[in-house]
Amino acid sequence: MKKTLLFALLAAPFVSHAASPTESVNKAIEAMGGNNLQQLKTLTVRARTRHWEPHQSVQAGGEMRFSCDSIYTQSRDVSTGATRTDWERNYVYPATRTYKFSEILAGGIGYVNGIDTTARTKQSLESNPPQHTMSGLRVAATTRELTRNSPSLLVEMAKNPKRLQAVADQNVDGRSLPAVRYQGNNATYIAMFDPATGLPERIRTRDYEPLEGDSNYALVLSDWCTVDGFNYPYKQVYQLNGRNVIETSVEDVNVNPPLGADVFAIPEPYRAGAPKMAAYGKVPYQWVLRRPFIGTLLDSDAVLYDPQASSGLRLADVAPGVSHVQGGSHNSLIVEMDKFLVVFDAPIGEAQSKWTMDAASKKYPGKPFKYVVLTHHHMDHSSGIRIYAAAGATVVVGQGNADFFKKVLTSPDSLGADSPKKKINPNVVEVAGSYIITDGKRDVGAYLIENPHAAGYLMGYVHDVKLGFVTDLWSPGRDPLPPRLNPGLAAVVNGVKNWNLEPERFAGGHGSTGSFPDLLKVAAATN
Ligand SMILES: [Zn+2]
């Protein structure tokens, strides 16, 4: 081992006045237990973890949504990298529910035993008991995080000195932290060290976040405790641009426990044909990592839809000159005007916006998107906004949302695979009551409505065809109408009444279309 370290030391680039990257890494290994860390074979950790989602808040840019309080037990085989995490996730958003499941990553593929999401794939729905293979995107994103919080990451760095690079000390909260850059198999990490103890303090990646642009995503390690001559961080916090989105408190660590091979076993039917880990750089990390914060990841390499269940996105003609983008987990609504188009919502990300613009240019040639109306700011219905704005569309949002979206559209976005990567001059209209887009023949309205889901919410309405559009308050065709109104459905009924609209049907940001008189019957049965 000493030989390896000596070689590493000599191979490292010389940096004056500061420790070389290899010296910083070796110092950290010593601080974490030296030989005891290098001898680590297996590890079991039990922890409690809590999740907050920044972009499912009530107010755009406001207090993050607390979503989930979980416990997990994680077992690792350090030599093979195989990991199993047994979860009990207790969600309070978007609905109260508990998911108990196991995630196994081994041999470059992933497997989930149990139900882990409301957006289940066909494979999960048809398996009894429920289980499914992970998408290659989820394998890649999960592997990146397992590497980031692995106690052996520093040992891996020491073994790969050519992948280490010196970087300037990093300023964090007024402190200057020595740092190294490490090109791992799955990501580029910036590791920062506590100057006093030499322990790793922060491990950061640069991620694309559609609403925040190029972002810092960092794991912050603290509360180091000694277990069997080896030091482990009992507090692990993930920060997205400085805000705590995951807080983990470790309750128990077991060093070198015996782990049978069956701990990491993936049943043959789920091993055969399992997607391989997606290529580094092709992964929408923040989407794949954060949809599980609220238990809604559609675990699919197509991201926008489940290829086993859908042939892909399609334009459904729901009225003359009105096309509903269906076939995926999230929809938008395109309305044709005399010389231009209006679209409601920009779901999931720029890939779906590109598809929508492409399909619209074939269906409605020569008509650009002049307006994009957002029902609300939640990430899954607004993250594709940049593409429309970059193409010159005016962004129409509800009261209290304009400043947030001006910031979104002017934040740098060099890291997004599909992002427009050009400077956008945002043209954002904020609606405090109603806003009518007209070509003299067709009126398309956006109406601010009271609702329990998001502040500054707009309901869409195409007057001549008596068609409404709402997202998340009612998902017609997906969620059957209940016998009595729930708060979301009541908001739709009241919004229609307050604005004196006369819809025959609604199209949804999820699902398909539904009859408004049927919803009124439910309203009449409520009281
Ligand atoms: Zn929402």
What are 224-249's pLDDT values in tens digits?
999 999 999 999 999 999 999 999 99
Say how many Å lie between the CA of residue 274 and the centre of ligand 1.
Answer: 32
Q: Tell whether the model's pLDDT for residue 13 goes beyond 70.
A: no
Q: Give exposure, 329-358, as e/b (b: 16+ Cβ within 10 Å).
A: bbbbbbbbbeebbbbbbbbbbbbbbebbbe
Say how many Å lie between the CA of residue 445 and the centre of ligand 1.
Answer: 20
**Nearest 5°: phi and psi at 224?**
-70, 130
Region 85-106 average pLDDT: 97
Provide, rounded to the nearest whole percent, the portion of the chain with pLDDT above 70.
Answer: 97
What are 388-415's pLDDT values in tens digits?
999 999 999 999 999 999 999 999 999 9
The H or E element containing residue 9 is: helix 2-11
Say how many Å lie between the CA of residue 509 and the centre of ligand 1.
Answer: 9
* Selected residue with higher pLDDT from 16 and 295: 295
Within 10 A of 324 (CB to CB), how many other CB atoms are there?
Answer: 23
Q: Tell whether the model's pLDDT for residue 7 goes beyond 80.
A: no
Q: Tell me what pLDDT residue 281 has.
A: 82
What are 288-332's pLDDT values in tens digits?
999 999 999 999 999 999 999 999 999 999 999 999 999 999 999
Task: Tell me the whole-structure pTM to 2 decimals.
Answer: 0.94
The β-bridge partners of 504 are none
Task: In whole angstroms, give the CA distance from residue 417 to residue 402.
Answer: 26
Say how many Å lie between the CA of residue 197 and the centre of ligand 1.
Answer: 44
Say how many Å lie between the CA of residue 330 and the centre of ligand 1.
Answer: 11
Centroid of chain to Cα 47: 22
386: helix, strand or coil: helix
Lowest mean pLDDT among 259-268, 467-476, 507-516: 259-268
Say how many Å lie between the CA of residue 382 and the centre of ligand 1.
Answer: 9
Say how many Å lie between the CA of residue 157 and the centre of ligand 1.
Answer: 41
**Nearest 5°: phi and psi at 284?**
-80, 80
Say how many Å lie between the CA of residue 453 and the centre of ligand 1.
Answer: 6
Task: In whole angstroms, give the CA distance from residue 301 to residue 307.
Answer: 9
| Residue carrying structure tokens 């398996």 | 127
Say how many Å lie between the CA of residue 119 and the centre of ligand 1.
Answer: 15
Task: In whole angstroms, give the CA distance from residue 320 to residue 326.
Answer: 16
Say how many Å lie between the CA of residue 56 and the centre of ligand 1.
Answer: 6
Say how many Å lie between the CA of residue 11 and the centre of ligand 1.
Answer: 52
Say how many Å lie between the CA of residue 465 and the centre of ligand 1.
Answer: 26
Provide the pLDDT confidence category of residue 11 given band limits of 50, 70 and 90: very low
